[in-house]
Structure 1
Amino acid sequence: MKNQNMKICISGIMLTIFVLVCFMQHEGVDAAREMQHRRGSRVMKETFYPAYGETIPSSLQYRKTSTIFNVLAFGAKGDGTTDDTKAFEAAWLAACKLEASTMVLPKGSVFLVKPISFAGPDCESNIVFQLDGKIIAPKRSGSWESGLLQWLEFTKLNGITIRGTGVIDGQGSGWWSESGTKPTAVRFYGSSDVTVTGITIQNSQQTHLKFDNCQSVQVFDITISSPGDSPNTDGIHLQNSQDVTIHSTKLACGDDCVSIQTGSSGVNIQNVDCGPGHGISIGSLGKDNTRVCVSNITVRDTKIHDTMTGVRIKTWQGGSGSVQGVTFSNIQVSEVETPIIIDQYYCDGGNCQNESSAVSVSDISYQNIRGTYTRNPIRFACSDSSPCDVNLDTIQLQPVHKNDDMGKPFCLNAYGELKTSTNPPIDCLMAVKPSKKQSQYSYDSCKD
Structure 2
Amino acid sequence: MIMKRSRNLSLLVFVFFLVIVFVTFSVISVEARKNRIKKSKPHNKHHQKDKSGNGNTSNSPGPATAPLPHYGSNPIQSTIFDVLSFGAKGDGASDDSKALVAAWKAACKVNGATVKIPSQFKFLIKPITLQGPCMPSLVLQIDGTLLANPKVGSWSKSSLFQWINFKWVQNFTIQGTGVVDGQGYGWWSTSNQQMYHIQKKSKHIPYNKPTALRFYSSNDVTVRDIKITDSPQCHLKFDSSRGVKVDNITISSPESSPNTDGIHLQNTQDVEIHNSNIGSGDDCVSIQTGCSNIHIHHINCGPGHGISIGGLGKDKTIACVSNIIVEDISIQNSLTGVRIKTWQGGIGSVKNVSFSNIQVSDVKVPIMIDQHYCDKNLCKNQTGAVGISGVKYDRIIGTYSVQPIHLACSNEIPCTDVDLIDIQLKPSTGFGGFHQALCWNSYGKSQAPLLPSSIDYCLGKNGVPVKRNQVT
Which TM-score tier does this pair reach, normalised by the shorter chain?
0.7 to 0.9
Correspondent of 2:437 among 389, 409, 413 = 409
State the partner residue of 1:68. 80
- Superposed displacement of residue 44, structure 1: 9.3
- Asked if structure 1 preserves the Cα contact closer than 8 Å seen for 2:437 and 2:458, the reply is no
In the alignment, the residues of structure 2 paired with residue 321 and residue 433 of structure 1 have an alpha-carbon distance, to the nearest angstrom, of 22
Distance 1:142 1:358, change over 3 A: closer
- Letter aligned with residue 429 of structure 1: C
Correspondent of 2:161 among 137, 149, 156 = 149
1:359 aligns with 2:386: yes
- Letter aligned with residue 317 of structure 1: Q
Distance 1:300 1:112, change over 3 A: same
- Superposed displacement of residue 421, structure 1: 3.1
- Letter aligned with residue 432 of structure 1: K
- Superposed displacement of residue 201, structure 1: 0.2
- Asked if structure 1 preserves the Cα contact closer than 8 Å seen for 2:427 and 2:433, the reply is no
- Asked if structure 2 preserves the Cα contact closer than 8 Å seen for 1:374 and 1:406, the reply is no
- Asked if structure 1 preserves the Cα contact closer than 8 Å seen for 2:152 and 2:187, the reply is no
1:339 aligns with 2:366: yes
Q: Who wins on radius of gyration, i.e. which is larger?
A: 2
Kindly provide the CA deviation profile for residues 241-298 of structure 1, in whole angstroms up to 9, marking residues without a partner as x. 0000000000000000000000000000000000000111000001000010000001
- Indicate the larger mover: 218-227 or 99-108: 99-108
- Superposed displacement of residue 43, structure 1: 11
In the alignment, the residues of structure 2 paired with residue 196 and residue 101 of structure 1 have an alpha-carbon distance, to the nearest angstrom, of 16
- Letter aligned with residue 364 of structure 1: V
- Asked if structure 1 preserves the Cα contact closer than 8 Å seen for 2:450 and 2:456, the reply is no
State the partner residue of 1:90. 102
- Letter aligned with residue 424 of structure 2: Q
State the partner residue of 2:410. 383
Aligned pairs, how many?
387
In the alignment, the residues of structure 2 paired with residue 300 and residue 408 of structure 1 have an alpha-carbon distance, to the nearest angstrom, of 25
In the alignment, the residues of structure 2 paired with residue 96 and residue 156 of structure 1 have an alpha-carbon distance, to the nearest angstrom, of 12
Q: Is there any run of 5+ residues in structure 2 with no aligned partner, and where? A: 1-59, 193-206, 465-472
Alignment of 1:167-206 (within 5 A): 167-178=179-190, 180-206=207-233
User: Helix, strand or coil for the counterpart of 1:420?
Assistant: strand
1:315 aligns with 2:342: yes
In the alignment, the residues of structure 2 paired with residue 284 and residue 149 of structure 1 have an alpha-carbon distance, to the nearest angstrom, of 19
In the alignment, the residues of structure 2 paired with residue 238 and residue 43 of structure 1 have an alpha-carbon distance, to the nearest angstrom, of 44
- Superposed displacement of residue 10, structure 1: 6.0
1:214 aligns with 2:214: no
Kindly provide the CA deviation profile for residues 346-394 of structure 1, in whole angstroms up to 9, marking residues without a partner as x. 0110221111101001000001110000010001000122111210111
Correspondent of 1:133 among 137, 144, 147 = 144
- TM-score calculated relative to the size of structure 2: 0.78
State the partner residue of 2:5. none
Q: Is there any run of 5+ residues in structure 1 with no aligned partner, and where? A: 1-8, 25-31, 47-66, 436-448
- Superposed displacement of residue 87, structure 1: 0.6
State the partner residue of 1:53. none
State the partner residue of 2:446. 418
- Asked if structure 1 preserves the Cα contact closer than 8 Å seen for 2:313 and 2:319, the reply is yes
- Report sequence identity in percent: 52
- Asked if structure 1 preserves the Cα contact closer than 8 Å seen for 2:126 and 2:149, the reply is yes
User: Helix, strand or coil for the counterpart of 1:345?
Assistant: coil
- TM-score calculated relative to the size of structure 1: 0.82
User: Helix, strand or coil for the counterpart of 1:398?
Assistant: strand
- Superposed displacement of residue 408, structure 1: 1.3
Kindly provide the CA deviation profile for residues 214-242 of structure 1, in whole angstroms up to 9, marking residues without a partner as x. 10000010000000110000000000000
State the partner residue of 1:165. 177
Kindly provide the CA deviation profile for residues 172-228 of structure 1, in whole angstroms up to 9, marking residues without a partner as x. 000002361110000000000000000000000000000000100000100000001
In the alignment, the residues of structure 2 paired with residue 407 and residue 379 of structure 1 have an alpha-carbon distance, to the nearest angstrom, of 11
User: Helix, strand or coil for the counterpart of 2:303?
Assistant: coil
- Asked if structure 2 preserves the Cα contact closer than 8 Å seen for 1:44 and 1:69, the reply is no
